Structure 1
Amino acid sequence: MGPITILIVEDDDSIIEILRLYLEREGFLVYSAATAADGLQLMEENIPNIVLLDLNLPDQNGFEIARRYRSLSEGILIFITGEKTKNTIIQGFEIGCDDYITKPFDPPEVIARIKANLRRIGVNSSNELTVGNLTINFSDKTVKKKGEMIELFAKERMLLFHLVQHPNQVFSAEQLYDLIWGIDSEAELKTVQVHLSTLRKKIEMDPKNPRFIQTVRGFGYKFSTK
């Protein structure tokens, strides 16, 4: 699960360390912050696949971070908190959290909850994402359609894996251009659309009505896991 990033926002250092120990043992890439401000900054710089979020932070309520994460990503959001009131739990789910764990907790339970949510969106422990008839392997960077290997050019592969590692998150053509080709590249911006078009022809059953790489009109492109 190397490509999966987790952000822990928690003001108790001992909790951060025990979670980091268990999560890194499972192969996750872990970031942490002790305040809402630092958590928001990390979130903006590199949107994580999963957020483990405490509600009672020293500088801001965790619900505000949750709302910001939901505006940026449809990734996995799990509250880990001492708040046990019914209204608090309901508010968390209304914002869009995927799970709610109350303190004190058992670290293996947190791992199990994370894995259950990953299975829900199609990521499994063998470093593969399966959506429909498409299987993407994060370890060897291979892509299969209906069990058959697909040959991709380097930029096509880079585009696909970037989108896949940020499921349901929208990227503009300009963002993809800067990420894949680099801001100093002499290629033209339209090369993004060209590569996405050829990529769709290879991975989609119906490239004119794509299931996986979808256009969000007026905003950009996303990899849909739905």
Structure 2
Amino acid sequence: MSKILIVDDDKNILDLVRIHLTQAGYQVLKAENAIQALSILETEIPDLVVVDVMMPGMNGYELTKRIREKLNLPVLLLTAKGELEDKEKGFIAGSDDYMVKPFAPKELLFRIAAILRRYDKPRDAILRVGTVTVNRKSFEVSSGQSTLLMPLKEFEVFALLASRPNQVFERAEIMEKVWGFDYEGDEQTLNTHIKRIRERLVKIATDVEIVTIRGIGYKLEVHNQ
């Protein structure tokens, strides 16, 4: 069961969203402001945070920025503002999606489900594949005494492949889960990231290799030594 934190100073919105999310099978946490939300996040790690933009004190943009910096959790922003400039602020802060009030609860559920599909990644903090260890908290990849600090997207691609060694991931699946379903770039972006990961990986481990499955995608293969 996915856990969702709702942050909104409007109690009616809090209750409305809670009711619909609960009926949809989600576990729901509630906060009436950013300070309460940050306090909850010290002890609870939800799968997604729904944040209102216009709140007293710390606004939703700043809260989103903090959530992304500290926990890298997905965020969906709710706001009464629909101007392009406001949406831009939300995405710059790190939000994954943006909904304007009033909204249809059914559409909110669709958007939440889409975000959670994108973040259907390994939940374990530590992944071990052959001699390689992937630390999803520190974003480090290590083998023996050697440690790699990859750029975020490279790390996310590698962690996804490492979550299921020897399983083939289709290119479209990797693109959706790492860059998002609405990414407008081309597949060359993924090719470039795979190439760079391979160049880094070969420097620290010889028993783990990203293999291209022609016409389909990639898999992380483990060789016995």
Distance 1:68 1:212, change over 3 A: closer
What's the offset of the Cα at 1:210?
5.3
- TM-score, structure 2 length as denominator? 0.57
The alignment partner of 1:11 has SS state of coil
Where in structure 2 are the equivalents of 1:69-88 lying within 5 Å? 69-88=67-86
Alignment partner of 1:31: what SS? strand
Q: Write 1 or 2 for the structure with the bigger share of strand.
A: 2
Residues 6 and 29 of structure 1 are in contact (CA less than 8 Å); yes or no, is this contact kept in structure 2? Answer: yes
Gaps of 5+ in 1: 123-130, 132-162, 166-170, 172-195
Q: What's the RMSD between the two structures over aligned residues? A: 3.0
Higher relative CO (Cα under 8 Å, sequence separation at least 6) belongs to: 1
Contact 1:82 1:103 in 2 (8 A): yes
Relative to structure 1, is the Cα distance of residues 13 and 211 closer, same or farther in structure 2, using a 3 angstrom cutoff?
same
Question: What is aligned with 1:67?
Answer: 65
User: Number of residue pairs matched?
Assistant: 148
Return the alpha-carbon distance in structure 2 between the equivalents of residues 28 and 72 of structure 1.
Answer: 23
- Contact 2:62–2:93 under 8 Å retained in 1: no
Q: Is the 8 A contact 2:47 2:116 kept in 1?
A: no
In structure 2, which of residues 62, 87, 90 is the aligned counterpart of residue 89 of structure 1? 87
Contiguous gaps of at least 5 residues in structure 2 = 142-146, 150-155, 161-177, 179-225
Q: Which amino acid aligns with 2:66?
A: R
How much has 1:105 moved relative to structure 2?
0.4
Runs of 4 or more, structure 1, over 6 Å off, are 211-214
2:159 is the counterpart of 1:224:
yes
Q: 1:38 aligns with which of 36, 39, 46?
A: 36
Closer/same/farther in 2, CA of residues 224 and 72 from structure 1, 3 Å limit: farther
**Distance between the aligned counterparts of 1:49 and 1:28, measured in 2?**
10
